Structure 1
Amino acid sequence: MTARDVAALAAAVQTNCHIADARHAADLTLCSYLLQMRELYRWEQRLPLGAPLARDAVGAWLAQREREWAQLDGRDFVALPSPGGDDGVDPFDVETLAGPLAAEGLAYGAALAARDRPAFFLAELLEARELDDGLALQVCGRELARGLFAPPAALVGRTVVLRRESFARWMWEKFEAFGLKRADGAFKRVVDAYGLDADFAAALPRLLDEQAETLLLHELGEWRVAQRLEPRWAAMRLALPDRRTDLQVRAVRDLVADLETTLPTLIARDDAVALHFWFASFDGLRAALCPALPRAYRAWCDGDQGRALRTTVARARDHFDALANGLLALHASDGAQAAGAIAARVDAPQAVFAG
């Protein structure tokens, strides 16, 4: 591919990123929206992490971007040019693009699950290798096109995609938020383990190298869970009428993936820093559904040798596996009419694992 070909592909992918953002930016809370827009601005302007932002410049950019989104409202995603010269490749046909682009040192990603925001990106490919369970790994570097929603890791088909640039920006957001209160806890232990306070930029590469494995374990767990739950799980989510219930059932599945794969692996390895890293991001609906886990983590930090953590992980795994299967059973029995019963089940006190 020539430089012009890459630029044309990046422009098409970026257009789809803008269309996806136009459709889904309103799904975010105001706080999340402003934080993600700030980091998107830094990325577009190629500013370093934590670079001071001129309020007037950001305000003008934000207003312009929102006008552009209004113009894109209702637009279909555009087809992409192929490295082989063919036009009109469906933007969700990752398999057609992946091989030819990898040969050019590029990685492309697109994901669209039930109710999920599409996440398109184009990046430089740093590494490609095989993982367990027949999965492949792509490690991406500098991103040439991206949207507001930029997860640091994702499972796309049978490929785990690790986006180091998005991972770095995600870590910077967490470090910046930590700096406002500097509270003791899991993230403080991560900060101390890597020396992020002394020189964040210098310490970051080692953190990304080491904790990429924790992200990969979650995606491996997602793959294993999918072998049991799909395609029934996606069909159930499509039938849910409201976003809150959808977020709750997503949290249930995330918990099953980590309780079956991520946490048992980290505990078996006695990987203390990775456990701190995992718990530093354990919040929101997952934490509300499983308050027993933070208590077991504190017991481990206090020196119980992990006894409470091992017991809690095993029991919570059984609890949420049964909950996931129960939700599928409700959907199987009543289909779209089961939405109310599913919402009531995940909202019920019995859905929570308190230990």
Structure 2
Amino acid sequence: MRYEVPFVPDPAYAALLAARAASLSAVYFRLGPDIPDARLPGAGDAAPQELAAGLAALPEVPRLGLLNAAFHAPETLSGDGLRDLLLLLEGYLAAGAITGIVYADHYLLTALSDASPEVAGALVAVPSINFRLDRFERLAAVLEAVADTRFRFPDAVILDRDINRDTARLGELADRARRAFPGLRLGLMANEGCLYACPFKTAHDAHIALTRLAACRLGPDMHRDLGCLRTFYAHPGRMLASPFIRPEDARRLEGLVDFLKICGRTRPAADLTAIVAAYLDGAFHGNLAWLLDTQEILSGRLDLPNDALPADFFARTDGCGHHCRACGSCAELAGRIVREREMGLPRLGEAGERG
């Protein structure tokens, strides 16, 4: 299995990527500290010059800049805002550091295409996973919309997270997609830790986009008090019902998809190195919550030992109907293996443990 992974300009992480470049499907990165994407701003976001220098060391790997905020300010669609964004993309192109963008706002994609056919024609436009491409008709409509612009047609897309562990449905979609779009590579998100069919997602993505437009602040308190973290803590079984793919189970998707995407670009570089290495090696021994996007916030409170999951966990949950109250299987398993961690300062020597 190949992997699409975040890029951060950290020496140890960059060395891992360089050594395992043959296993990489693509790398993706935030275009700059002031460029909106689908994550909250981070204090340690690298400058474009630093990113471009590091990305140039991966010339054979597709390099995707993130423009995947749910929506952008109206002033970004014209005038100085659009000009500044195009200048940034031109700089990355001149440095040989970018081959495409990941987008979620089709208004912005159209505006960029109209304003600079030259820039658009040099870049692949990859639909964000947040287009929720869970059936062929939706996939075809989104790809047709890209074809209406001057951007290059995508050679890869990531399908919706909710079909990660539904191989029958996934196989049907993959077969139709490959027949309709020969050469299109298909991927899934690997360390996905959101609630299945998350009821908070639309508002969550909108709140992230709003942080760039107004005095709106989205933080863990909102998730803890009203959202997904509250649900996970109250119902640990739903941590297991989340559509993640463990490193040990990646091989089960060989032949169905071409690559898996690893999340975590806002986490410390040492953590990201360990997460990517776990997937490249096909094994993880630690707190599964720590490995997963979103759930990692709970890993200081809840211990979900990956090695305690049954070897046939993927097969047991493949095609699950997600009627959790009627089934209770994940809740029963979580009741046996999930433990609340003792609160307090770590003992000497424990601070560097993974999960």
Q: TM-score, normalised by structure 2?
A: 0.31
Q: TM-score, normalised by structure 1?
A: 0.31
Greater relative contact order, per chain length (Cα 8 Å cut-off, separation 6+): 2
